Amino acid sequence: MAKVEHILLESDVRQVPDPRNARTVHAKIEFCSRLRRRILELEIIDYYYLSVRSHSRTGLLEYVLDLRFVDAPRRFRHISWRWISFSLVVVVLASGIAAKIDPSATPWRHDWLPACVAAILVWAFATLIGVYRTTETVYLLSTHGAARLLECTGGLGTLRALQRFMVKLAAHIRLASGARRPTKAEHLRDEMREHLRLREIGVLSAGQYETAKVRILDQHSRAAHAPRPIDVNGSVKACHPNATLSNPHHS
């Protein structure tokens, strides 16, 4: 019989602030991706939260992320090597054809001239496609669920445009990590609740939510069965994050 583990979602309920009524806005940026026809507005509010407004062809999506449950920003660059390689092959071919044209004869009447012009046009087209398909992405994952909570994809220059904001966001994520619950098991229950909230408002799909839930349950099972530290007398000690070590031989 398959083992089933249940988690009671009792946690310190922290009300997610309304972006329109935020007390403090620490940083904001508006990024327009012509490549994806999307406008993304990001605001770090009230120290521990990220407000997201995404305008795209499918409509408007607004939500707030609790940075206690968000991992550090990640970056990814996709280079269209196929089109770049094809462009290099074509430019070499165009150079070879140009070398066949006799400079002593009338160039515009040479038999190889149409082929050379066609190769140059194909090279220009392939280069544009290679640049268009080369993308840069910044995305956020949940800490233990590894669910993709935010994704910003654009052309070349996207990472540079978002760099300063992402540095501030990473600092606030580190700040928010200090406001987590004292034990890992309690934090995992809070993170489960946060995933459920994001599922209900449409940020996560049903499949993403279920996958994240399995990962969190696996982490919770490990935390629940983790061995407790044992002192020199052989007794089991309670593990507390604020506990300090002392020498038992000193009074």
Q: Which of 51-55, 176-180, 240-244 has the lowest mean pLDDT?
A: 240-244
Q: How confident is the model at residue 169 (pLDDT cuts 50, 70, 90)?
A: very high
The model's pLDDT over 204-234, given as tens digits with 9 standing for 90+, comes to 999 999 999 999 988 877 766 665 554 445 4
The model's pLDDT over 56-115, given as tens digits with 9 standing for 90+, comes to 777 888 999 999 999 999 999 999 999 999 999 998 988 888 877 766 556 566 677 788
pTM across the whole model: 0.73
Backbone angles phi, psi at 190, to 5 degrees: -65, -40
- Per-residue confidence (pLDDT) for residue 199, from 0 to 100: 94
Through-space distance between the first and last CA atoms of the chain, rounded to whole angstroms = 53
Q: Say if CB 190 and CB 12 are below 8 A apart.
A: yes
Q: Which of 129-138, 156-165, 172-181, 242-251 has the lowest mean pLDDT?
A: 242-251
Distances (CA, A) of 161 to 74, 149, 156: 15, 20, 10
Distances (CA, A) of 231 to 48, 228, 236, 241: 37, 10, 7, 16
